[in-house]
Amino acid sequence: MKISRLVKYWAELLKRDILALWFALKNPQMPFIAKGVGFFTVAYALSPIDLIPDFIPILGLLDDLILVPILVWLTIRLTPKEILNHSHQQAKEWLSFNKAKPFINAGIIIVVVLWLMYLWLLI
């Protein structure tokens, strides 16, 4: 399998998992800790801005290549299988009818707060 196909396949899986976690957050049976980590993960992944801007060479892509997959993996591990299976089905249906990803404003707030905390620590 070509590297480009492998990367594209991996990106599609990650997109589906993020969308599934978005649906899982709406489930009232989702455990509190999984909901907290999941909210941060989904908000950050669906945010239009990144913790490290993409225009910074190499570092700008590291959060997309390392941080987001780790957060998704952690949230999936914390989510009960029944909720995750149902959420994956919802994500599959969403992707078959709607190609656009959902938008969460909270991701912008999270990134800005993290930037402000970092600046405060520097000063």
pLDDT of residue 103: 63
Contacts 24+ apart (CB under 8 A), 32-37: 33/78, 34/75, 34/78, 34/79, 34/80, 37/71, 37/74, 37/75, 37/78
Domain residue extents for the chain: 3-122
Distance CA 14, CA 56 (A): 23
Cα distances from 18 to residues 9, 39, 57, in angstroms, run 14, 10, 25
Banded pLDDT at 70 (limits 50, 70, 90): very high
The predicted model scores a pTM of 0.76
Minimum mean pLDDT among 24-28, 69-73, 100-104, 106-110: which range?
A: 100-104
